[in-house]
Amino acid sequence: MPRRPFRRVSVPEQSRARSGRPGGRAHLAWTVSPLLLAVTALGRSSQNAGQTTYPLLGHSALHMSNGTIGELGAAAGVVGILCATVIVGRTRREHVLALLATGQALGLAAFVLLAVPSGSAGLWGAALALGAYGGLAFPSLMTAIGSGPREERAKALAIFATALSASLLVGPLVEAGVLHALGGSLRATFAALMPFPALATLLSVMAARRALPTVEPAADDEVGRSGWLRSTLRHKSTRSVAPALRTQPAFRVAVTMMVTYQIPFAALVTFGALLARHSDGVSASGAEIAFGAFFGVSLLVRSTLALATPRRATPALLAVSVVATIVGVALVAGARGFPLLLGGMALLGVPHGSTLPLASGVLAEWTPGEQLSRANGLLMACTNSASVVVPPICGVLADAIGYTHMFLLLEVPVVVLGGTLLALLRSPRSPLRSTWESEVSRGAEVPSTTTPDTVPIIPDDAVQSALPGRRER
């Protein structure tokens, strides 16, 4: 039987993929459903409250040194990496919601340990539980929300990132109010905030009882491969899936994006409140207000990206983010007084708002659906590696040279990685370098979201030759 030279995806097939009817239920309305958005907001605000406040608890109540607090952050990062690679990376896409519920339950357990007088052992257990939550919940949410049709993945993940920022704006403000009302009692504050992780756990269990929507092969699988195909045809690999992911230009760009910002962010989460207290004389509630400004700017940036989703402006946005990171770290480190600290934190909110939606969008658009769970797990594992390396080094540096100079030294890796990111974006192999017009000039059919009633035509010959393990029929 002669082979068809092209596989045409019809508009009715694409409509079924968006409508929720059997055979194509992975549509934008489901993947960014209020249930998953509520889990995202409640879970992330709870994790942030735990991560930014348990160093204060260890320092003031348990008299831990900066080095020990850094070791706590590193251990939590190791647990997050192991969960993302060993568990999420090996889990099928349809099972990620069960992992999400498990992660939320661990977050709730961390709050219980922080609320009761459990000593150093309880603080270590809480830090490890928060790390496991990050390793399980975030890549699982990214996979579930980014499982829709390829042309909708970037917008769905931008909405997901906006929900994260909204929670991180409201969460610190709520925590600051609770701290003020309870006279600065840290354990009582964790007890008062415990309904947030408890509700997140309940909702995630409800979500896990629902089947993750299936993706219609014609509308998602083959169309999704067309973006991945352009990268694969340039540097075909016959190796296993994991090495292929690590060597794909889109994966390298996404990882470099995330790590460039994660280094100062890991230091800020672990030592930001201590810097504010000891260098600027800011109270615990004042530090939470500064974090509120940080996440408020992040929310504005992510809301803009969710509305506009400017794919072709991604390189320029990333360049602006690198510059904002460098200047923001300098302001936070050199700030003397609350106004300058607030300004530096607000400026650092710009790259915090842009990095995750842009990186996850690039990865989701250039990764086929069956590899998306593993790709997200590896992305979060690489990102969390900064949470392993940075806190102990920063703890030692803070003891030796003080918080101000420690934060200034973070400029070195940020500048190096920022330059590497810009070089990757300018590389001929970069997925962000090619425009629609340049792809057409090379004779490749590419997806377009500008014409609603046209769908890309993908050559079967090219798809079959690029996919590992496929042979001529």
Which pLDDT score is estimated for 193? 92
User: How many Cβ atoms are within 10 Å of 376's Cβ, its own excluded?
Assistant: 28
- At residue 211 the predicted structure's pLDDT band, cuts being 50, 70 and 90, is low
pLDDT above 50: residue 463 = no
**Which residues have CB under 8 Å from 383's CB, separation 6+?**
255, 258, 259, 262
Q: How far apart are CA 156 and CA 31, in angstroms?
A: 7
**Which residues have CB under 8 Å from 468's CB, separation 6+?**
237, 238, 241, 244
Which pLDDT score is estimated for 11? 37
147 or 136: which leads in pLDDT: 136
Return the bridge partners of 458, or none.
7
**Which residues have CB under 8 Å from 333's CB, separation 6+?**
275, 344, 403, 404, 405, 406, 407, 408, 410
pTM of the model: 0.68
The tens digit of pLDDT for each residue in 46-80 reads 988 888 888 888 888 888 888 888 888 788 888 98
- 209: exposed, middle or buried (C-beta count within 10 Å: 0-12, 13-18, 19+)? exposed
Q: Taking Cα atoms as reference points, which of 28, 293, 4, 291 lies closest to residue 144?
A: 28
Q: What is the secondary structure of 168-234 as a DSSP string? A: HHHHHHHHHHHHHHTTT-HHHHHHHHTHHHHHHHHHHHHHHTSPPPP--IIIIIHHHHHHHHHHHHH
Which of 94-98, 323-327, 380-384: highest mean pLDDT?
323-327
447 or 339: which leads in pLDDT: 339
- At residue 200 the predicted structure's pLDDT band, cuts being 50, 70 and 90, is very high
Q: How far apart are CA 401 and CA 423, in angstroms?
A: 33
222 or 281: which leads in pLDDT: 281
Which pLDDT score is estimated for 77? 81
Q: What's 356-403 look like in SS3?
A: HHHHHHHHHHCCCHHHHHHHHHHHHHHHHHHHHHHHHHHHHHHHHHCH
Structure tokens at 164: 């994260």
Q: What is the domain partition of the chain in residue ranges?
A: 25-432
Quote the Cα angle for 362-365-366, to 5°.
85
Confirm if 373 and 93 have CB atoms less than 8 A apart. Answer: yes
Average pLDDT of the segment spanning 115-131: 91
Which pLDDT score is estimated for 434? 52
Average pLDDT of the segment spanning 339-363: 88
Percent share of the chain, pLDDT over 90: 18
Lowest mean pLDDT among 21-30, 193-202, 267-276, 358-367: 21-30
Which pLDDT score is estimated for 66? 80
pLDDT above 50: residue 218 = no
Q: How far apart are CA 157 and CA 302, in angstroms?
A: 10
Distance spanning both ends of the chain, measured CA to CA: 9
226 or 260: which leads in pLDDT: 260
Average pLDDT of the segment spanning 457-469: 40
Which numeric CATH code is attached to 25-432? Answer: 1.20.1250.20
Helix axes of 186-193 and 195-208: crossing angle, nearest 10 degrees? 30
Average pLDDT of the segment spanning 457-467: 40
Lookup result for tokens 């990757």 = 424
pLDDT above 90: residue 196 = yes
Percent share of the chain, pLDDT over 70: 75
Q: Taking Cα atoms as reference points, which of 333, 336, 334, 342 lies closest to residue 286?
A: 342
pLDDT above 60: residue 241 = no
Structure tokens at 328: 């923001």
Which pLDDT score is estimated for 280? 62
Q: How far is CA 360 from CA 141, 145, 230, 252, 367, in A?
A: 11, 11, 18, 12, 10
Average pLDDT of the segment spanning 422-440: 63
pLDDT above 60: residue 179 = yes
- At residue 230 the predicted structure's pLDDT band, cuts being 50, 70 and 90, is very low
Which pLDDT score is estimated for 110? 94
Which pLDDT score is estimated for 295? 79
